[in-house]
Amino acid sequence: METALYLPVKRFLEARGYAVKGEVCGCDLVAVNHSGPPLVVIGELKQSFTLELLLQGVDRLAAGDEIWLAVRASAKRGRERDPRVRKACRLLGFGLLAVFARGQVEILAEPGPYRPRANAARRSHLVDEHRRRQGDPTVGGGTRRPIMTAYRQQALAVAAALEPGPRRPRQLRPQAPDAATILLRNVYGWFERVERGVYGLTEAGRAALVRWET
């Protein structure tokens, strides 16, 4: 029961100088620090981290100065230790606690303003892939079929150009600027070297042209 989490969280907040009371106006707990201007802390307790717990925290934002979400610590690696969960809590300014069976409390995220550090390399990769991809060949939200990336588009262009017969990489540049690299890497097994500097299409490559209807 969530009530088993109450006393450990209460002691945790009391150690930080708060007076804690349970079930106040629909909140699992409310803690107030009267040493200066009242600082109101709202806590919500759940057996595990759920969307409902996160939404409860969002609902409490307008009434509290700090929001703490507390869950029972999982015996194995639970959802509360998912980096995405901690990032979500930090983005919203929530604190996140894991409460162990013996009453120990572990801070997984501190409440407060947070902005994730920009990942310039990832951003650049997104922009580059968006720029290089021809049209919009893949419907968003699907997971079953391989994604038509810019690289796959160029590989298919190379395969289509080789379908009539073997050719040299420089002859393929009008269809695929990265043809030489694509032939050398041969990620999908579609190509084969028939002689020095000349490449042809494998059966897998011919099948790919049929599958992708190039």
pLDDT of the residue at 143: 62
Residue 205 lies in a domain: yes
The domain total for the chain is 2
Residue 128 lies in a domain: no
Spatial CA neighbour of 125 closest among 149, 93, 94: 149
In this structure, the answer to whether residues 29 and 102 fall within a common structural domain is yes
pLDDT of the residue at 115: 67
pLDDT of the residue at 181: 92
Q: Are strands 66-72 and 39-46 parallel, antiparallel or unpaired?
A: parallel
Which tens digits make up the pLDDT trace of 130-180?
Answer: 888 888 777 666 667 788 889 999 999 999 999 999 999 999 988 888 899
Residues of the domain holding 58: 3-109
pTM score, whole prediction: 0.63
Tens place of pLDDT per residue across the chain (214 aa): 778 899 999 999 999 988 999 888 888 999 998 777 778 899 999 999 999 999 999 999 888 889 999 999 987 777 888 999 999 999 899 999 999 988 899 999 988 776 667 778 877 887 788 888 888 777 666 667 788 889 999 999 999 999 999 999 999 988 888 899 999 999 999 999 999 999 999 999 999 999 887 5
Residue 75 lies in a domain: yes
In this structure, the answer to whether residues 93 and 157 fall within a common structural domain is no
Residue 124 lies in a domain: no
Domain of 205: which CATH number?
A: 1.10.10.10
pLDDT of the residue at 193: 93
- Give the span between the Cα atoms of 135 and 10, in whole angstroms: 56
Cα 171 off chain centre by: 41
pLDDT of the residue at 64: 86
- Give the span between the Cα atoms of 142 and 106, in whole angstroms: 38
Start-to-end CA distance of the chain, whole Å, equals 58
Residue 138 lies in a domain: no
pLDDT of the residue at 198: 93
